[in-house]
A = this chain, B = another copy of it.
Amino acid sequence: MTQLTTALTIDFAGCLADRVGDAGLDLATLDDAAPRLRTLTEELEATCDTGLERWRSLPHDPVRAEHLSAVDALVTKLAPGTDDLIVLGIGGSALGNSALQAALNPPTWNLLPREKRGGPRLFVLDNVDPVLVGRTLACVRETDPRFERTVLNVVSKSGETAETAAQFLVARSMLVEALGDAHAERVVAITDTERGTMRSICDAEGYATLPVPGGVGGRFSVLSPVGLFSSAMCGIDVAALLDGAAEMDERCRRPEVRENPAALLAWLLIEHARHGRSQHVLMPYANALDGLADWYRQLWAESLGKRQARDGREIFAGPTPIKALGATDQHSQIQLYREGPADKVIGFVEVERFAEDVAIPGDLDVEPLRYLHGKSLGALLAAEKRATEYALVESRRPHYTIRMPEITAHTIGQFIWLWQMTTAYAGLLLDVNAYDQPAVETGKQATFGLMGREGYEEWAGRVEGALRGG
């Protein structure tokens, strides 16, 4: 019965006409949509674990057991001798890693003395900004000049993503300079099991590898070794992440939409979008969940932002995901959400119990602050959320709340799975392929051209011509 107390729930009363008037949905239309949603659940059941929906196999055996044992073997070998872990990746190969760390380890992790941390400092290099990369590597070298207690974790299915490849060439070269051939002991690559540039490099250099499983796209890969390895190195209970995901997967197979949180959430958001409310804010009231809001931005934008429907019709679909943080962004974005155009749906995430709470002392006794005495920061944060929800009702702006009993690996696994499944449903509701990203190719090829890669010569001229206005 642990599910009863640890399960995420969705409160969507704020999305309905009863509460927000014309900007809300009629509950009867959910009943009308129920048969169609049941059909989509069957459709997802039929394609589950095939093609680009192989991500659905991640929390279930045998895939789960294979991944956990491969990750565990490497972590057991490396963690005790590692003080710094550097993840090299971008997009789906980095967002999940940062998000899991932020959610499940303290915000001060990298500042703690080694003995107070359950693992190495974690640096996720998700860009080729020279100051970011240069300063981070210098910082690691400051305490570990020969990189003997550093692990380089490069995440790239092909090895040809320009940003990751460039980072890797830079960081690897430093390790080689310090350690020679022995540097190979300090590299873990997460890559394709069979082919590609990174695979060849790993085979030639003898690097340890973990799989980017086939049929699992970047933005659906956080619960594969892509996200699990760095998390496990930092002491996160990765089995519990998968348990939470598996439990949510079970709920997302239910035929009744009101019992199926992903079908419900997808319907709410896409139905609002059809009525012109296509800016979808995710606003957790917990700093630890800020990284997961970034992860959601990628999932929602890249999966649903599509020019063509599945049959090729031009539709230019795609709600805009927006990240906010409560209570902080009450002092930044709520003015717009309440008084600006009625084109938004605000999704709150509420944490019912924090890992620790902080009492507000009463030793400074001034009348206007007396109401805070003896309360806690957690209680204040909860009140702020409820007050904001009320303010949105008053302004007739639709909103919903994902309620998370506490932040644990188990609830975070549920949260991730909820959004991955919601995205799958939303793709079907919008009639788009949620698993490709055709528009990203142009930029990649143009970059190759501008950087002088063989075979892309014509791109440089094309870019310069267009940007000269010619």
Chain A contacts to B: CB under 8 angstroms: 13, 18-19, 90-92, 94-95, 106-108, 110-113, 116, 126-136, 138-139, 142, 159-160, 162-163, 165-167, 169-170, 172-173, 176, 197, 200-201, 218, 278-279, 285-288, 294, 297-298, 301-302, 304-307, 316-318, 320, 322-323, 325, 327-328, 330-344, 354-364, 366, 368-373, 375-381, 383-384, 386-391, 393-395, 437-440, 442-454, 462-463, 466-467, 469
Contact = CB atoms under 8 A, between A and B. Distances in A.
A387 B131 contact: no
B165 A201 contact: no
A331 to B, nearest CB: 3
A1 B166 CA distance: 37
A135 B107 contact: yes
Contacts of A378: 130
Given A13-B469, A328-B90, A330-B440, A320 B169 contact: no
Which of A112, A131, A323, A333 gathers most chain B CB within 10 Å?
A131
Nearest to A372: B166
Contacts of A341: 278, 316-318
A340 B316 contact: yes
B338 A439 contact: yes
Given A132-B287, A169-B360, A391-B442, A371 B452 contact: yes
Nearest to A454: B371
Given A201-B364, A307-B338, A390-B466, 8 more contacts: A18-B469, A126-B328, A127-B328, A133-B358, A278-B341, A302-B335, A305-B336, A334-B439
A47 to B, nearest CB: 22
Given A108-B138, A135-B107, A466-B393, A322 B322 contact: yes
A136 to B, nearest CB: 6
Number of this chain's copies in the complex: 2
A197 B127 contact: no
A320 B340 contact: yes
Contact of A130 (B133, B167, B358, B391): B358
Contacts of A307: 338-339
Given A90-B331, A363-B176, A390 B166 contact: no
12 contacts: A13-B469, A106-B135, A107-B132, A162-B380, A201-B366, A278-B341, A316-B341, A334-B439, A372-B451, A384-B447, A387-B447, A387-B450
Given A169-B369, A469-B19, A130 B354 contact: yes
Contacts of A334: 439-440, 443
A127 B169 contact: no
A466 B394 contact: yes
A457 to B, nearest CB: 11
B301 A163 contact: no
A389 B307 CA distance: 18
Nearest to A165: B369
Nearest to A444: B387
A386 B462 CA distance: 12
A331 B91 contact: yes
A366 B301 CA distance: 34
Nearest to A205: B364
Contact of A318 (B339, B364, B389, B448): B339
A332 B93 CA distance: 11
B160 A453 contact: no
B331 A316 contact: no
A128 B327 contact: yes
A369 B106 contact: no
The 3 closest A-B pairs by CB, nearest first: A91-B331, A305-B336, A318-B340
Contacts of A328: 90-91, 94, 126-127
B446 A173 contact: no
Contacts of A18: 469
A467 B393 contact: yes
A197 B201 CA distance: 64
Contacts of A133: 358, 377
Given A169-B361, A302-B336, A305-B339, A135 B108 contact: yes
A286 B336 contact: no
